[in-house]
Amino acid sequence: MSRIGKKPVELPSGVSAAVSGQTIEVKGPKGARTFTATDDVTLSVEDNAVSVQPRGSSKRARQQWGMSRTMVANLVQGVTDGFKKELEINGVGYRAQMQGNTLKLSLGYSHEVNFDVPQGVTVTCPKQTEIIVEGADQQLVGQVAANIREWRKPEPYKGKGIKYKDEYIFRKEGKR
């Protein structure tokens, strides 16, 4: 029995959900998001909460039960609060700035890196060494942050590069 799947997802005020078949659409102040569940679960909206129930007792149905409930909870969180990833840039001369819809990164290469921000995500640079990626879609926010980090991953000797704000870089000692 899924402990996560048993709990219904509460809909805060200002958020509405509509189920049609296996697809649920959640609308809120930050936009609208949809999720299509597999045929192993049943989605229903009753008294301001979304509940997910398995169809049968197969292993796959129980697996999809908890996962589907978590996906619906992420939709609700995305349209109410949104998701956020914070990146830090460490290194002499490494900096970032926004120009229109393009993130310009100076990362020690012979050229500037121009990163086009996709639709549905907002990227801001409060300081030259900070990047904040925000949006309603958790997967898209994480992917954009990972793509930005991919340009210069932190190295283990001096820690230079782009890292997540809460990331710990394992340091090596170097030569003697």
Confidence tier at 3 by pLDDT (50, 70, 90): confident
Same-domain pairing of 130 and 63: no
Please say if the pLDDT value at position 2 is more than 70: no
In a domain, residue 152? The reply is yes
pLDDT at 176 over 90: no
- The total of structural domains in the chain comes to 2
Tell me the pLDDT tens digit for each residue of 19-49.
Answer: 998 999 999 998 899 999 999 999 999 889 9
45 φ/ψ angles, rounded to the nearest 5 degrees: -115, 120
Report yes or no on 172 lying in a domain.
Answer: no
Taking the C-alpha atoms of residue 115 and residue 149, their distance in angstroms, rounded to an integer, is: 11
If asked whether residues 53 and 90 sit together in one domain, one would say no
pLDDT at 174 over 90: no
Order of strands, edge to edge, in the sheet holding 121-124?
121-124, 130-135, 83-90, 161-164
Check residue 172 and give its pLDDT: 93
Residues 82/30, Cβ–Cβ less than 8 Å? yes
- Are both 96 and 60 inside the same structural domain? no
For residue 148, give its domain range. 83-164
Do 54 and 107 belong to one domain? Answer: no
The per-residue pLDDT for 74 is: 94
Give the CATH number, domain containing residue 72: 3.90.930.12
In angstroms, the CA 66 to CA 70 distance is 6
72 & 88 share domain:
no
